[in-house]
């Protein structure tokens, strides 16, 4: 498990899922290390579901959003992940960004926003 003041990432064996629970705003390596750790979990456990709990989410800065789409997402496309789930409040500052991510990710995954 990866657990910082910004995010907690864990593998849920009963659901064959990665759960990424955001706690507070971060950027740069504090943001990217979350996804780097998750990549290791994907390689080791072959989960089929990625769950992002963004109820405490935030709007990412432009550099991190670009990194996510250019560096992380291509790795996940070729992985065991088939479904992506976002848990977010419609009033969250992250909501519009998550809708954009849903649009982009739906080309490769079954995506739900709940």
Query: Domain tally for the chain?
Result: 1
* CATH code, domain carrying 44: 3.30.750.24
The mean of the pLDDT values for the chain is 93
**pLDDT tops 90 at residue 56:** no
Could you tell me the pTM of the whole model? Answer: 0.91
| Beta carbons of 50 and 20 less than 8 angstroms apart | yes
Q: Which of 62, 61, 3, 9 is nearest to 35 (CA)?
A: 9
**pLDDT tops 90 at residue 91:** no
Q: SS3 string of 39-76?
A: HHHHHHHCCCEEEEECCCCCCCCHHHHHHHHHHHHHHH
pLDDT in tens, 32-43: 999 999 999 999
Q: What is the pLDDT of residue 97?
A: 85
Where in the sequence is the domain holding 61, given as residue range(s)?
A: 2-113
Q: How many CA atoms lie within 13 A of 95 on its CB side?
A: 7
């Amino acid at each position: 498990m990866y657990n910082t003041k910004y995010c907690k990432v864990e593998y849920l064996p009963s659901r064959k899922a990665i759960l990424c629970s955001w706690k507070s705003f971060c950027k740069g390596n504090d943001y990217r290390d979350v996804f780097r750790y998750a990549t290791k979990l994907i390689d080791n456990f072959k989960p089929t579901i990625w769950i992002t709990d963004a109820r405490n989410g935030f709007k990412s800065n432009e550099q991190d959003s670009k990194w996510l789409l250019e560096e992380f997402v291509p790795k996940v496309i070729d992985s065991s992940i088939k479904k992506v789930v976002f848990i977010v409040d419609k009033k969250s500052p992250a909501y519009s960004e998550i809708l954009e991510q849903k649009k982009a990710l739906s080309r490769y995954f079954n995506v739900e926003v709940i």
